[in-house]
Amino acid sequence: MSSQTERIRRMTVPQLAARKGGEPIVSLTSYHAHTAAIVDKYADFILVGDSLGMVMHGMETTVGVPLDLMIMHGKAVVRGTKRALIVVDMPFGTYEESPNIAFRNAAKIMKETGCGAVKIEGGARMAETVHFLVERGIPVMAHTGLTPQSSHVMGGFKTQGRDEDTWKAHEDDAKAVAEAGAFALVLEGMVEPLAAKITKQVDIPTIGIGASVECDGQILVLEDMLGLNEWTPKFVKVYGDLGPQIEKAVSAYAEDVKARAFPTEDEVYR
C-alpha cells in the first residue's frame, strides 16, 4: 500500500538487533519533538525514557511517572522524527503485576504513540512477560543492572556488580531476557568487566549507560550530555554547555526588557 506522503523509513527492530557485534549503535533519550528532530539525524534509536520524570518534571525518582505522561511525550517524539526507531519506556506499575496487564499497557503505548518498541526494567523476573509481549507482536527492549524504578529496593542509584559474588545473578538476568525474546538490552550502572562479559554472553545487542565501551551501543540522557543539568552522573561525557548558554540568553533578554531595548514594530515579524 502506498501513501501520498513521503514514505518514512525508520530503523526497524530486526535491523537494530542485527547490529550485534557490528557498528556501534548510537542512541539518546529525547522527550520533545524539537530535540528529537535533531537527535533523529544521528541516532539509530531514540528512547523516550521515564527519566523524563526527573529531568523534565523535577521528580526525585522515576517511580511517580504516569503512563499518560509517557504517551504524551512518546507522541511528540514520534511526530518529530522520521528515521530512528522510537522506544518508549513502560513506567513503574504498568507491567510488573502480570503479563496480561503488561500487554494491555504496552499495546496502549504502541497504538497511541506510534512507537516501534517498549522498554521494561528487570531481568529473570520479567522474562515471562517479555516472552508474552513478544509473542503477541510487541518488541521489547530489556533493561538490567541499575534499574532506577527499583531504586527504593536497591537503596539508591548504585553501580551494580562491585562485588563479584553478584555477577552470576546479573549474567542470569541478561540471559533470561535475551532467551525470552528481547531484541536488545540496556545495561545501566554496571562495573565495566561485568558489562563486557554479558555483552559476549548474549546474542542481542547490549546498550551501555555507565557500563562498558565493549557494549554494542551506548545511550545517554540528552540533557546530561548537553550540560543542561546542574548535576550529572560521573560517567557522563558532557558535550555541550546548554545550561550556562540558556542562562546567558535569559539574562540578556531580561536586561533588554528592562531597558526597553526591543525591536521596533516594523522589525517584529521578520
* Interacting residues with ligand KIV (CB under 6 A): 29, 47, 49-51, 89, 143, 186, 188, 209, 219, 221
Which residue is at the shortest CB distance from ligand KIV?
A: 49
Closest distance between ligand KIV and the C-beta of residue 146, in Å? 9
Question: CA torsion 123→125→129→135, rounded to 10°?
Answer: 60
| Residue 217, strand partner residues | 25, 207
Cell 540558556 identifies what position?
Answer: 246
Closer to ligand KIV at the Cβ: 131 or 143?
Answer: 143
Q: Reduce the DSSP state of residue 120 to 3 states and report it.
A: strand
If the CB atoms of residues 126 and 219 are measured against ligand KIV, the closer one turns out to be 219
Cβ neighbors of 116 (< 8 A, separation 6 or more) are 10, 11, 12, 13, 85, 86, 87, 139
For residues 198 and 51, give the distance between their C-alpha atoms in angstroms, rounded to a whole number.
Answer: 24
Please state, as a whole number, how many other Cβ atoms lie within 10 Å of the Cβ of residue 48.
29
Nearer to ligand KIV, 12 or 232 (CB): 232
Q: Of the residues 97, 188, 230, 267, which is catalytic? A: 188
CB of 269 to ligand KIV, least distance (A): 39
Task: For ligand KIV, give the closer residue by CB, 28 or 196.
Answer: 28
In angstroms, what is the minimal distance from the CB of 221 to ligand KIV? 5
Mark whether 188 is an active-site residue. yes
CB of 120 to ligand KIV, least distance (A): 10
**Which residues are catalytically annotated?**
188
